[in-house]
């Protein structure tokens, strides 16, 4: 092969590798969504890979939820719509419509691996912070696992599903907030979802800059405890890149500062 042709072939191969890597990272980022939070999910093993099949009713339109939330926001209220999903306590109820915390609020997530201190953004994500505080007061997160660890283009620890399967939730959903210009740099605290307007209880903590579209409500940041997350991340996941943390993580208790 002539030198010029050889250079072209190497360039072509390098370009193909780059495209494959970008496609893989984009696919991993899309997988951050909590698939099936309002629908039954069947996992069929095929050659070692899991194929997700969705059954049940489609999610209500995210646009309708957003419009309802916008109307409520004009009155300083939040809309929490009942939904069916695994792990939802029958007597949990829904958060109050009027958020009690509309400023900066501190919270602490105590895990078996150490404490992570959060600063919640009640100004830009009042309904999300309101829900998080409500679930905390109901001890919803106590003794629940952080079931998912990702690495690569997406670097997060995902928690908030008491079932540990990635499909559970609190039995209600609500609209997205604070998406305009959202980025997911190291230290970001955001909600996982299964599409527009499907926030529930699952959240993720970013331990290294991650590439994601602005589709996930940012409701705070990590102020202390990044070393805890980095320790968990360093141990890896099973399967590698996106799976359960090898270093098991259990939320023991979550506290949110009193409204004031």
Neighbours of 225 (CB within 10 A): 20
Res 74: pLDDT = 62
50 pLDDT tier (thresholds 50, 70, 90): very low
d(CA 259, CA 133): 10
C-alpha count within 13 angstroms, C-beta hemisphere, residue 40: 3
Res 75: pLDDT = 76
d(CA 85, CA 237): 26
136 pLDDT tier (thresholds 50, 70, 90): very high
Asked if residue 17 has pLDDT above 50, the reply is yes
In the structure encoding, which two tokens stand for residue 65, read together? 């939820």
List, for residues 202-218, the tens digit of each pLDDT value. Answer: 999 999 999 999 999 99
Q: Are 212 and 154 in contact (CB under 8 A)?
A: yes
Mean pLDDT value across residues 59-83: 71
Ramachandran assignment for 115, one of left (phi > 0), alpha (psi -120 to 50 degrees), beta (any other)? beta
The pLDDT > 70 percentage for the chain reads 72
Asked if residue 229 has pLDDT above 50, the reply is yes
d(CA 84, CA 173): 9
- Alpha-helical runs (H) found in the chain: 3-30, 62-73, 126-137, 226-234
Residue 258's Cβ-count burial label (10 Å; 0-12, 13-18, 19+) is exposed
* Prediction pTM value: 0.77
């Amino acid at each position: 092969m002539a030198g010029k042709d050889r250079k072209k072939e190497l360039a072509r191969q390098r370009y193909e590798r780059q495209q494959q890597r970008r496609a893989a990272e984009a696919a991993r980022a899309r997988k951050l969504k909590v698939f099936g939070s309002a629908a039954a999910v069947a996992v069929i093993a095929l050659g070692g890979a899991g194929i997700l099949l969705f059954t049940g009713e489609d999610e209500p339109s995210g646009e309708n939820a957003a419009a309802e939330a916008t109307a409520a926001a004009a009155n300083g209220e939040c809309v929490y719509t009942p939904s069916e999903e695994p792990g939802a306590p029958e007597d949990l109820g829904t958060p109050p419509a009027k958020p009690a915390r509309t400023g900066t609020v501190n919270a602490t997530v105590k895990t078996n691996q150490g404490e992570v201190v959060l600063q919640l953004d009640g100004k830009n994500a009042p309904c999300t912070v309101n829900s998080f505080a409500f679930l905390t007061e109901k001890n919803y997160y106590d003794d629940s696992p952080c079931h998912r660890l990702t690495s690569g283009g997406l670097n997060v620890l995902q928690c908030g599903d008491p079932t540990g399967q990635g499909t559970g939730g609190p039995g209600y959903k609500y609209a997205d907030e604070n998406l305009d210009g959202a980025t997911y740099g190291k230290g970001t605290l955001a909600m996982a979802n299964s599409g527009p307007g499907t926030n529930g209880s699952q959240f993720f903590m970013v331990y290294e800059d991650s590439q994601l579209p602005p589709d996930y409500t940012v409701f705070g940041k990590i102020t202390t405890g990044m070393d805890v997350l980095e320790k968990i991340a360093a141990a890896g996941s099973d399967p590698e890149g996106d799976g359960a943390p090898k270093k098991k993580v259990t939320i023991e208790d979550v506290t949110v500062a009193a409204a004031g």
